[in-house]
Chain A
Amino acid sequence: MYAALWRILPGPLWVRILIAVAATAIVVAALMMFLFPWVDSFMTPKDVTVRQ
C-alpha cells in the first residue's frame, strides 16, 4: 500500500520525501482538527463530579 503510494510519487528522491512529509503533515493536521474532536464528542469523558 505505502510502497505503491511511494512508487506513484513523481520526481527525484528528495522531491518524493518532501511530498511524503507534506502529505503526512496534512493528514495528521486534518485528523487533529476534524476527526479527533468529532470522535472525542462521542467519548465518555472522565467524570469529575460527585453524584448519587
Chain B
Amino acid sequence: MAKTPKAPKESKNAVTPDISSEPTESSESTETTESTETTESTETSESTETSESTDATDHQASKPPKAARVAPGKFSAALGIVGESLITVGAIVLLFLVWQLYINNAVLANEQVNITKDQSLAWATVTPSPSATNAPVQTDFGPPPVVPAVGEGGQFGILYIPRLGPDSQRAVRNGVDPASVLNHGYFGHYPDTQWPGEPGNFALAIHRTGWGSSFADSPKLQAGDKIYLETEDGYYTYTFRNNEFVLPTAVNVVLPIPGSNVPAGDQMLITITTCNPLLGDAERMITYGVFESWRPRSAGPPPAIAAVSAKEAN
C-alpha cells in the first residue's frame, strides 16, 4: 500500500515516453509496466495493483479534461448569469407590453364601466315619471339646455356609442390632460371648445387603444349611427356624420365649425379626436357627429341605450 502515492507519480512521469516509445517503458520500472499492463489486461494483475493502476489511469485520463472543465466553468457561469439576466429583462419588457396593451387596458375599461354606472346612479335622483314612459313616444323636447361648465378635471357626462359594442360607454371629463384624464380611459373635453347644448363644437379626445379606451373600432362607425351623451339633465343624441384623417397640428378641427372660421350659427356638432394609426400617433382620426335631439332625464333614456342604463341601475 506504500506504493500508492508512488505509482501515480511514476506512471505520470512515464506517460509521455509511454506514448512515444512503447518498448522502453518495460525497462524503466516494474511498477509502471505493471500499471500499463493492467490497463491492457486486467485479469493477470493483482487486485491491489488494479486498483492502483485504475486510479493512476483515471488520474491520467481525467486530469486534463477536469482542468479544462474548471477554467471555462467560471467563465461560462458568468456568461450564463449575463445571458439569463438579458433573457429576464427581455421577458419583463414583453410582459410590460402585455400589461400595457391588454391587462392595464382591461383593468381601466372595467373601472370605466363602474365609474359610468356610479355616475348614472348618482344622477338618477330624478326617476323617469311613469306617465312619461307610458305616454306616446315623444321625440321633441325643445331646445337642449347648455351643460353648465365644470372645472378642469370635472366629470359631467357619459358618452355611449352603441356601435362600438357593449360596455363601450366612457365617462366624460373636462380637460385633455393625459395623466389625469385621458390615461384613465375618459373622454376629455377640450376646455376651449363649446359645451353640449351650446351652438358650436363639443370637442373631445380619447385614446384609440390601451388605457381602457373603447374607441379602437371607431372606423366601423356608419353614417347615421347614434352617439349619446348622458348628463345630469338628460340625454343628448348626436348622429355620426364622418371620419376624417388629419395631421396632429390640424387644430382647426375643434373650431366651432371645423375647418373654417365662420361663426357656428345654430349648428351643434360633436368632434372626437383620437390617434391614428392604431398603435401610433403620427396622425389624428377625427370623428364628427351632428346634434339631433335632446330628451330630459324624466323622459327616460333613449331606447338604444335603455338596456345599458337598466344594467347600470341594477
In the complex with contacts A28-B95, A36-B99, A52-B251, A46-B190 CB distance below 8 A: no
Q: Is A31 an interface residue (CB 8 A)?
A: yes
Interface size class, chain B: 35 or more
Within 8 A of B (CB), among A1-52: 1-3, 28, 31-32, 36-37, 39-41, 45-52
Assess whether B96 is in contact with A36, with CB atoms less than 8 Å apart. Answer: yes
Q: 6 closest Cβ contacts across the A-B interface? A: A46-B281, A1-B84, A49-B205, A48-B275, A45-B178, A36-B99
Assess whether B249 is in contact with A52, with CB atoms less than 8 Å apart. Answer: yes
Q: Min CB distance, B66 to chain A, in Å?
A: 20
Q: Min CB distance, A47 to chain B, in Å?
A: 5
Assess whether B183 is in contact with A45, with CB atoms less than 8 Å apart. Answer: yes
Q: Min CB distance, A25 to chain B, in Å?
A: 12
Contacts of B249 in A (CB 8 A): 50-52
Assess whether B248 is in contact with A1, with CB atoms less than 8 Å apart. Answer: no
In the complex with contacts A2-B84, A36-B99, A48-B251 CB distance below 8 A: no
Assess whether B95 is in contact with A31, with CB atoms less than 8 Å apart. Answer: yes
In the complex with contacts A1-B81, A1-B84, A41-B179, A46-B100 CB distance below 8 A: no
The CA of A29 and the CA of B188, in the complex, are separated in Å by 30
Within 8 A of A (CB), among B170-192: 176, 178-179, 182-183, 188, 190
Assess whether B100 is in contact with A40, with CB atoms less than 8 Å apart. Answer: yes
Main secondary structure of the interface of B (DSSP, over half): mixed
Assess whether B103 is in contact with A50, with CB atoms less than 8 Å apart. Answer: no
Assess whether A46 is in contact with B284, with CB atoms less than 8 Å apart. Answer: no
Contacts of B183 in A (CB 8 A): 45
Contact among A39, A41, A51 with B251 in the assembled complex (CB-CB below 8 Å): A51
Chain B residue with Cβ nearest A46? B281
Q: Is B80 an interface residue (CB 8 A)?
A: yes
Assess whether A48 is in contact with B84, with CB atoms less than 8 Å apart. Answer: no
The CA of A51 and the CA of B183, in the complex, are separated in Å by 18
Contacts of B208 in A (CB 8 A): 46, 48
Chain B residue with Cβ nearest A3? B80
Q: Is B64 an interface residue (CB 8 A)?
A: no
Q: Min CB distance, B109 to chain A, in Å?
A: 16
In the complex with contacts A31-B95, A32-B99, A36-B99, A45-B182 CB distance below 8 A: yes
Contacts of A37 in B (CB 8 A): 104
The CA of A2 and the CA of B86, in the complex, are separated in Å by 13
